[in-house]
Amino acid sequence: PVFAGMKGSAIENFSCVIYNIFLMNCTWQAGRDAPADTQYFLYWQKSRDEEEMECELYIKDENCRNVGCIFQNVSIGIEKAYFLVNGSSKDSLIQFYDEYIDLYKI
């Protein structure tokens, strides 16, 4: 099912900002009901023709939880980019978050 996982465990307030044309910074907040050990992982796909890539440089909070990502050498195409943030916890299943974003509008 699309919304498998504990209700309220998916990330919130996802946003991305592009700096100096080539750097993209995406951030989010942990789900309000996510277990304390939840760790999140960001994947993105620039276009349908390109392979999905995981974040290489995570931004971490004081609990070492991934709450953002810095992407380098970003190229902006005209297609919507696909972003997926999933999570894992030893206590429960975590809901994923996904969104299509027009990078040229950021």
* Residue 22 belongs to some domain of the structure: yes
Q: Is residue 6 domain-resident? A: no
* Residue 36 located in a structural domain: yes
29-68: pLDDT as tens digits: 999 999 999 999 999 988 777 788 899 999 999 989 999 9
Q: What is the extent of the structural domain holding 17?
A: 12-105
Return mean pLDDT, the chain.
Answer: 88
Q: Give the DSSP letter string of 71-83.
A: E-S----SSEEEE
Please name which of 26, 54, 60, 24 lies closest in space to residue 42, comparing C-alpha atoms. 54
CATH of residue 31's domain is 2.60.40.10
Q: How large is the average pLDDT for residues 9-25?
A: 90
86 domain-assigned: yes
In a domain, 5, yes or no: no
